[in-house]
């Protein structure tokens, strides 16, 4: 798992490298510039393109100067540097690189105001104005400059972070910084790149290594962690010799209604392919034929019989919600399960019913996993006007209720009872189709049945669900939920 650091912590990592590795501050900047240029030239190999490099006065500007210098030395014929003389505070390494640039044949001009920028003719812009040193929203000349650059409508590459974009913390809805095509950032992605509002600032990003001490970074205290494939490999347990269906647990999936039986089938199918030993779908009688014909391995428990069944403790794992429908009977059923005090996976309509019963939210059994998307989350815990605030609420509630909250999106935030937030980066827009969440619930309950902890089940399920979608999306424009449910077994096998 990769630790994601704040700007202050990243600065410490820079300082640590300078103090402890045989590398001077200016050489670290040179290394960062070289890594940027390498990545940039992979994308933009036409040496005749006009490149305008905008440089501020801090270290981000220093990077820009070094980048311009390297581009000139690498055969780029039309590089022009705009040095923005907007501040008296110039960093030491900025000044060293300014002198180096002065001694080169790179074209440059010093600009004191945006009005002086009349004839910027560029195919590509490199934004090295402000980086992770941003300490307040843009205003005055800086805001004007960001607007000017955006209005040029050119391809913008941002150095480390687009000017005006906060690396962490709330992103304002009226973001007024640079809108980059791509950000090439150093050593670690910024925490805020995983928040949907970052789409206002950069279409995509790439992380390049600059030689900071990974051991030092991984030792820092942070609540934000990025799941990696190695973690999944480490958590997954292979199936054992002499094992039998009892070894892999019995999952109960309370789901489906007359018009939404598909959700029950998808969740059950996903659970089946995740490897639970036995699966029972608690469905309405109207769904029996569909279940028996499409998923013969799955047992049925007609819903009205539910109250007559044995203790829910018979099941190793229980999920409730996919396609369930909202009714008094279903609310009673949910209440019964919650009061049984057994960890649950709670999704979809079960979450919507919970939103109307704050008394039950307080009683969600510890170690349960709830899987809201943004709207379901806000119905449960109140409206939020930014994703940062929403994630902070999720973290708070996960700690308070001692549950796992899987807040679903392009990048899903998995908030654990210990306050840690695992960010899942697998998954893609080909998966944006109904039923995908039902499959995720089936995968989670499938892992729970196999005795993975709630934390591990949520982390594994999100990663494998997205990864399976990524593999399938290499060959198709859309990945439907049933296909993904079936393919998940292949991905688990590959990573186990
Ligand atoms: N050794 C290092 O520290 C390294 C730093 N690197 C680069 O350094 C950058 C960070 O550099 P700095 O810490 O110098 O910071 P910046 O270059 O991002 O900003 C510097 C100045 O901008 C001012 N400022 C902040 N917000 C402002 C606002 N809204 N309006 C006007 N002025 C504002 C600050 O007071 C500061 O004086 C990184 O993003 C990265 O590009 C890289 O070169 C890697 C090595
Ligand atoms: N653009 C996307 N990128 C990554 N994952 C996605 C994307 N769109 C949807 N997903 C995933 O699909 C699932 C959708 O869940 P949900 O909205 O509950 O769907 P449904 O209610 O239709 O079953 C989530 O796990 C989400 O992360």
Atom of ligand 2 nearest to the CA of 406: 25
* Residue 349 in marked binding region: no
pLDDT tens for residues 12-48?
999 999 999 989 999 999 999 999 999 999 999 898 9
Spans of the chain below 70 pLDDT: 309-310
Ligand 1: which atom is nearest the Cα of residue 132?
A: 39
What pLDDT was estimated at residue 77?
87
State the Cα–Cα distance between residues 280 and 261, nearest whole angstrom. 14
ipTM associated with this complex:
0.89
Please give the domain boundaries of the chain with CATH numbers for all domains: 2-213 (3.40.50.10260), 229-495 (3.40.1190.20)
Q: How far is the CA of 432 from the centre of ligand 2 (A)?
A: 6
Tokens representing 74 are: 């690498």
Query: Annotation-wise, does 257 bind a ligand?
Result: no
Contacts of 368 (CB under 8 A, 6+ apart): 343, 344, 345, 346, 403, 404, 454
Tokens of 337: 């399960």
Please give the pLDDT value at position 309. 67
Would you call 263 helix, strand, or coil by DSSP?
helix
Report the alpha-carbon distance of residue 271 to residue 222 in Å, rounded: 33
Q: What is the DSSP letter of 240?
A: P
412: CA distance to ligand 2 center in Å? 9
Q: What is the pLDDT of residue 311?
A: 78
SS3 (DSSP) at 484: helix
Q: Which atom of ligand 2 is nearest to the CA of 409?
A: 27
Q: Take residue 328 and report the two structure tokens written for it.
A: 């008094």
Which residues contact ligand 1 via a Cβ below 6 A? Answer: 14, 25, 28-29, 32, 56, 58-61, 63, 89, 91, 130-136, 138, 142, 159-161, 186, 210
Q: Is 160 annotated as a binding residue?
A: yes
Q: Is 273 annotated as a binding residue?
A: no
Give the residue whose CA is nearest to atom 42 of ligand 1. Answer: 29
State residue 224 phi and psi, 5-degree precision. Answer: -100, 120
Q: Which of 133, 145, 172 to mutate to test the pocket of ligand 1 (most atoms within 8 A of CB)?
A: 133
The H or E element containing residue 379 is helix 374-381
pLDDT at 119: 81
Q: Is 383 annotated as a binding residue?
A: no
Best CA proximity match to 225, nearest among 391, 366, 400, 370: 391
Q: What is the pLDDT of residues 393-434, one digit of tens each?
A: 999 999 999 999 999 999 999 999 999 999 999 999 999 999
Q: Whose CA is nearest to atom 43 of ligand 1?
A: 29
Ligand 1 centre to CA of 14 (Å) is: 12
Q: Tell me what pLDDT residue 310 has.
A: 62
């Amino acid at each position: 798992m990769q630790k994601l650091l704040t700007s202050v912590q990243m600065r410490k990592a820079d300082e640590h490298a300078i103090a402890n590795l045989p590398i001077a501050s200016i050489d670290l900047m040179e290394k960062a510039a070289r890594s940027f240029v390498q990545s940039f030239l992979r994308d933009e190999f036409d040496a005749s393109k006009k490149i305008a490099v905008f440089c501020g006065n801090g270290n981000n500007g220093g990077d820009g100067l070094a980048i311009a210098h390297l581009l000139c030395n690498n055969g780029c014929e039309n590089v022009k540097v705009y040095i923005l003389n907007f501040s008296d505070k110039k960093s030491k390494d900025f000044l060293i690189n300014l002198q180096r640039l002065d001694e080169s044949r790179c074209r440059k001009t010093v600009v004191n105001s945006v009005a002086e920028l009349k004839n910027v003719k560029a195919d590509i812009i490199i934004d090295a104005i402000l980086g992770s040193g941003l300490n307040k929203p843009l205003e005055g000349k800086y805001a004007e400059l960001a607007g000017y650059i955006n209005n040029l409508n050119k391809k913008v590459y941002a150095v480390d972070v687009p000017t005006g974009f906060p690396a962490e913390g709330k992103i304002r809805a009226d973001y007024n910084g640079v809108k980059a095509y791509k950000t090439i950032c150093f050593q670690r992605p910024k925490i805020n790149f995983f928040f949907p509002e970052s789409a206002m600032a950069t279409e995509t990003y790439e992380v390049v290594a600059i030689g900071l001490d990974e051991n030092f970074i991984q030792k820092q205290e942070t609540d934000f962690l990025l799941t990696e494939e190695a973690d999944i490999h480490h958590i997954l347990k292979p199936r054992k010799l002499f094992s039998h269906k009892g070894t892999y647990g019995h999952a109960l999936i309370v789901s489906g209604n007359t018009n939404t039986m598909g959700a029950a089938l998808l969740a059950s199918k996903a659970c089946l392919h995740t490897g639970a030993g036995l699966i029972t779908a608690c469905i309405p009688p109207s769904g029996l034929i569909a279940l028996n014909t499409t998923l013969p391995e799955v047992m049925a428990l007609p819903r009205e019989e539910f109250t007559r069944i044995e203790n829910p403790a018979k099941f190793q794992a229980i999920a409730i919600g996919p396609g369930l429908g909202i009714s008094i009977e279903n609310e009673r059923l949910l209440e019964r399960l919650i009061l049984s005090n057994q960890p649950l996976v709670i999704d979809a309509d079960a979450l919507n019913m919970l939103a109307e019963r704050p008394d039950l939210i307080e009683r969600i059994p510890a170690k349960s996993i709830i899987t809201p998307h943004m709207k379901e989350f806000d119905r449960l815990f109140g409206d939020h006007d930014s994703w940062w605030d929403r994630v902070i609420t999720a973290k708070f509630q996960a700690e308070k209720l001692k549950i796992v909250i899987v807040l679903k999106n392009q990048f899903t935030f998995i908030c654990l009872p210990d306050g840690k937030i695992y960010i899942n980066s697998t998954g893609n827009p080909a998966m944006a189709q109904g039923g995908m969440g039902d499959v995720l619930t089936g995968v989670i309950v499938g892992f729970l049945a196999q005795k993975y902890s709630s934390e591990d089940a949520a982390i594994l399920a999100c990663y494998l669900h997205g990864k399976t979608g990524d593999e399938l999306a290499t060959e198709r424009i859309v990945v439907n939920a049933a296909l993904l449910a079936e393919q998940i077994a292949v991905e688990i096998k590959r990573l186990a």
